[in-house]
A and B are shown apart, each in its own frame.
Chain A
Amino acid sequence: MPSPEVANKVRDAITALKGADLKDPRLGEVLNLASQMSEAMQMFFSSLDRSLFDEMRYISSYIQRTRLEISNLRPNDLSEDRIPGAGAELHAVVQHTAEATNTIMAVAEEVMAADTSDPDAYQALVNEKMMEIFEACTFQDITGQRIKKVVDTLTHIEQRLERFANVMGVEDAELEETLEDRRRKENLLNGPALNGPEVAQDEIDALFGSEGGESMDQADLDKLFG
């Protein structure tokens, strides 16, 4: 039952009791007190209703804004077009580089295994095979263009997610470690470093000794790697 209705019912009851011409003064005091309480409750319930309404209105507008921001992310475009497209481009890059590498290696193996007894025939073969290597190297231009498209897609996603996080005031939650995460950590699967090896071959050679003979203890290792 809404609070104004409750208050009105209490007030009506009090008025009816007053009108009954009861002579006990204590009852009058009780009724006065009840009347004051009724008015206070009405004010309380009115303010409660208003604050609830304001809260609901805020939640509603927040949900609307969230829907708008998610819509601006264009999630369907990302999941149905851009991300699969980027995946297909990367798959093509892997395929082209593998094909080119296999072609180059096969040609090199042919040259290495070729009969050198006839110098003219050997030179002709080498020239022909070198042209095949040059042709195979054209993959680089195409893969460069494909990778640029993937980078553009990633930049697009990054910008939209960044805007979404800023508008919604989203903060990163703690990540729960998966079994795969744990396995990667235990096996030190860091992958290749971006700008060349983190530890150069020379430093590794120093660790193992130029002749590969002497072993180093932990103190030596710490000294070597700071």
Chain B
Amino acid sequence: MAVDLNAPVLVVDDYQTMVRIIRNLLKQLGFENVDEAADGREALEKMKKTKYGLVISDWNMEPMTGYELLREVRADEILKPTPFIMVTAESKTENVIAAKKAGVNNYIVKPFNAQTLKAKIASVLGDF
């Protein structure tokens, strides 16, 4: 299976710098259609309007965390199949296990590099 580079990607992070970094990395990987949200609530609203091919989300955000967003997405029959990668500084065992149980497709700990992001996207969406 090959990655659909035209599918829109939603980057969710409350730090504009991190959004910019991920956006640039995605651009280098060939993704042109990148959208962004500053927290889980904004992301959820956008997801109800647009069908995204991938969500890349931070964990620690207000008012809705990435973990809450993930659970909301997995509980919604329409949004449920959306591939979801968590990119976060939360690196405790309990966080990784909770995300896995909640249905996250992959998990990246910050700081990360372009190669890691590419590998995890490939593991979720298919080869580039």
Count A interface residues, CB 8 Å. Answer: 31
| Residues of chain A contacted by B21 (CB below 8 angstroms) | 105
Task: Tell whether, in the assembled complex, residue A211 and residue B90 are in contact, meaning their CB atoms are under 8 Å apart.
Answer: no
| A213 to B95 alpha-carbon distance, docked (Å) | 20
Say if the beta carbon of A76 comes within 8 Å of chain B: no
Task: Tell whether, in the assembled complex, residue B107 and residue A208 are in contact, meaning their CB atoms are under 8 Å apart.
Answer: yes
Task: Tell whether, in the assembled complex, residue A187 and residue B67 are in contact, meaning their CB atoms are under 8 Å apart.
Answer: yes
Total cross-chain contacts (CB, 8 A): 81
The one of B96, B98, B123 in contact with A199, judged by C-beta atoms closer than 8 angstroms, is: B96
What is the interface of chain B mostly: helix, strand, loop, or mixed?
Answer: helix
Task: Tell whether, in the assembled complex, residue B96 and residue A193 are in contact, meaning their CB atoms are under 8 Å apart.
Answer: no
A154 to chain B, nearest CB (A): 22
Mask for A200-219, Cβ within 8 A of B = 1, else 0? 11001001111111011000
Task: Tell whether, in the assembled complex, residue A188 and residue B67 are in contact, meaning their CB atoms are under 8 Å apart.
Answer: yes
A182 to chain B, nearest CB (A): 14
| Residues of chain A contacted by B108 (CB below 8 angstroms) | 201, 204
| Residues of chain A contacted by B6 (CB below 8 angstroms) | none
Task: Tell whether, in the assembled complex, residue B100 and residue A199 are in contact, meaning their CB atoms are under 8 Å apart.
Answer: no
Which residues of A line the B interface, CB within 8 A? 98, 101-102, 105, 108-109, 112, 187-193, 197-201, 204, 207-213, 215-216, 221, 225
**13 contacting pairs across A/B (C-beta < 8 A):** A105-B17, A105-B24, A112-B24, A188-B90, A190-B94, A191-B90, A199-B91, A199-B96, A201-B116, A211-B123, A212-B120, A215-B100, A221-B97
